[in-house]
């Protein structure tokens, strides 16, 4: 071999040149996680849809409206019980701050007991099974499964809960001799989901939660900066109150027929709200950059809005077995609500881990609570639904302006 050829042979003087390699993505990042969560939501929404169909065809509209009213009240209690700490618990688990986690879970359990004691006297005894729901929400470790990015297991948690609820719904409509089992349907879902969450969170095969791939703030001693805790909790709490607070403050002077129609339509809207909430949870846990992942939030909301706008009769007939003209009109007006909620949720994701937005959070809280109080003064169901849309539009605009011109215009922490 001649001298020129030997130049290409590896030697101490001529070390082999390795081709450039792209850095692989971290193993714990599941790029299909939003798909897992959408599949989980489709399963949960399908289960919830079937349960509503079973109950809607098995009980009278007035009895269903009273059941939904009890669920609205207890949903506000569940939001207070969770204290907006779900995303914070996810981050703390990823930072391995177990002492702080124990303290927060203890607070949630205390708030749950207070909420149960506060709401129980306001409910008829037949509705007391729903009081299980705040305590189940307080102790459920579903946040630990999300922190580990094990979104495929959330699919099984949801399936277990929906199967339990469906079994109770069939028993309530086909075998039970009294309507009391109707009020056990939603608690069965909560309790079963809680048990399944414990199973997946604490089995020996469960992996440790991966540390966040990006750190939006200086990380003192490997811990989550305390200065963003209040803001993170507050934004999450406000987002949890949004879907239910308007219905919880419905005026007593509203005619019963209009009130019942509002509660039935609101149950449709909660299907969209639950999907938006779960998808936003995936984006938060994975530190996704929201601006690049808007379609995960916006497209499902647009799809739901188009269905409600174009086929309100079909949605009502499938769920409740009837579609009165007043309900159809309300559904068409309410069709804008899912998209507006998705826009508000997007802005909350952008702001909740940026420092310097406590003032914005306070303004948002005033709009949510004061808006619900003003909505309670409306004297018609159509006026209430229009006001609910306007409130979300105002809230989305203010949060957008805060992100655009606020103190920290850098990228959000929700990025890859």
**Does the pLDDT at position 164 exceed 90?**
yes
The answer on pLDDT for 7 being more than 50 is no
The verdict on 200 and 62 lying in the same domain is: yes
Domain boundary among 151, 180, 210: 210
Same domain, residue pair 237 and 196: no
Phi-psi region of 321 (alpha: psi -120 to 50; beta: other; left: phi over 0): left
Q: What per-residue confidence (pLDDT) applies to 293?
A: 62
Confidence of residue 360 (pLDDT cuts 50, 70, 90): confident
- Say if 194 falls within a structural domain: yes
- Per residue in 91-118, pLDDT (tens digit) is 888 888 888 899 999 999 998 899 889 8
Local confidence band at 376 (pLDDT 50, 70, 90 cut-offs): confident
- Looking at 210, 244, 276, the residue that finishes a domain is 210
**Same-domain check for residues 74 and 141:** yes
Instruction: Using pLDDT thresholds of 50, 70 and 90, give the confidence band for residue 3.
Output: very low
Q: Do 97 and 144 belong to one domain?
A: yes
pLDDT, one tens digit per residue, over 15-35 is 444 433 333 334 444 555 556
Q: Is residue 14 part of a domain?
A: no
List the structure tokens of 351. 């702001």
- Tell me whether residue 90 is in a domain: yes
Residue 64: which of 75, 50, 52, 74 has the closest Cα? 52
Percent of the chain's residues with pLDDT above 70: 77
Residues 230 and 204 in one domain: no
Q: In this predicted structure, which of 199-213, 239-253, 381-395 has the lowest mean pLDDT? A: 199-213
Residue 116, domain member (yes or no): yes
pLDDT attached to residue 4: 41
Identify whether residues 267 and 298 lie together within a single domain.
Answer: yes
pLDDT: which is higher, 222 or 121: 121
Asked whether residue 296 is assigned to any structural domain, the reply reads yes
Do 247 and 155 fall into the same domain?
Answer: no
Please indicate, yes or no, whether residues 44 and 95 belong to a single structural domain of this protein: yes
Q: Which residues contact 257 (CB under 8 A, 6 or more apart)?
A: 326
Final residue before a domain boundary, out of 169, 185, 210: 210
Q: Is residue 20 included in any domain, yes or no?
A: no
Q: Does residue 191 carry a pLDDT above 90?
A: yes
217 pLDDT band, cuts 50/70/90, is very low
pLDDT band (50, 70, 90) for residue 60: confident
Domain contains 23: no
Query: What's the rounded Cα separation, in Å, for the pair 395 and 400?
Result: 9
Q: What is the pLDDT of residue 341?
A: 92
Asked if 340 and 239 sit in the same domain, the reply is: yes
Note the residue count of the chain: 416
Asked whether residue 247 falls in the same domain as residue 203, the answer is: no
- Number of domains, the chain: 2
What pLDDT is attached to residue 221? 43
Complete DSSP assignment for 43-95? HHHHHHHHHHHHHHHHS-HHHHHHHHHHHHHHHHHHHHHHTT-HHHHHHHHHT
Domain membership of residue 152 as a residue range: 31-210
In a domain, 8, yes or no: no
Do 195 and 232 share a structural domain?
Answer: no
Same domain, 270 and 179: no
Q: What was the pLDDT predicted at 411?
A: 43
């Amino acid at each position: 071999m001649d001298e020129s050829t030997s130049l290409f042979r590896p030697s101490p003087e001529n070390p082999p040149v390795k081709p450039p390699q792209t850095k692989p993505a971290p193993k714990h990042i599941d790029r299909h996680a939003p798909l897992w969560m959408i599949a989980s939501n489709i399963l949960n929404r399908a289960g919830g849809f079937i349960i509503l169909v079973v109950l809607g065809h098995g009980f009278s509209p007035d009895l269903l409206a009273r059941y939904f009213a009890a669920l609205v009240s207890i949903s506000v209690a569940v939001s207070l019980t969770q204290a907006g700490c779900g995303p914070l618990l996810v981050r703390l688990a990823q930072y391995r701050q177990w002492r702080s986690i124990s303290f927060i879970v203890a607070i949630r359990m205390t708030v749950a007991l207070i909420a149960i004691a506060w709401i129980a006297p306001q409910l008829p005894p037949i509705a007391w099974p729903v009081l299980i729901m705040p305590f189940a929400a307080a102790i459920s470790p579903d946040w630990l499964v999300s922190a580990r990015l094990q979104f495929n297991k959330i699919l099984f948690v949801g399936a277990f809960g929906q199967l339990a609820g469906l079994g109770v719904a069939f028993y309530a409509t086909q075998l039970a001799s009294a309507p009391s089992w109707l009020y056990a349907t939603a608690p069965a879902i909560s309790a079963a989901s809680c048990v399944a969450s414990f199973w997946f969170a604490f089995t020996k095969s469960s992996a440790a939660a991966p540390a966040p791939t990006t750190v939006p703030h200086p990380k003192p001693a490997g811990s989550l900066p305390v200065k963003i805790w209040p803001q993170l909790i507050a934004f999450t709490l406000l987002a949890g109150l949004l879907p239910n607070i308007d219905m919880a403050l419905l005026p007593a002077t509203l005619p019963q027929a209009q009130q019942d129609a509002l509660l039935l339509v609101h149950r449709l809207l909660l299907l969209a709200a639950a999907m938006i909430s779960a998808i936003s949870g995936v984006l938060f846990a994975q530190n996704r950059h929201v601006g690049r992942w808007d379609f995960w939030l916006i497209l499902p909301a647009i799809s739901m809005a188009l269905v409600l706008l174009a086929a309100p009769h079909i949605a009502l007939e499938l769920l409740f077995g009837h579609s009165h003209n007043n309900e159809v009109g309300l559904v068409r007006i309410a069709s804008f609500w899912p998209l507006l909620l998705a826009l508000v949720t997007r802005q909350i994701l952008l702001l909740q881990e940026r420092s310097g937005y406590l003032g914005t959070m306070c303004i948002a809280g005033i709009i949510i609570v004061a808006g619900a109080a003003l909505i309670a003064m409306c004297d018609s169901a159509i006026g209430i639904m229009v006001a609910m849309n306007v409130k979300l539009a105002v809230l989305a605009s203010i949060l957008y302006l805060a992100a655009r011109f606020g103190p920290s215009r850098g990228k959000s922490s929700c990025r890859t």
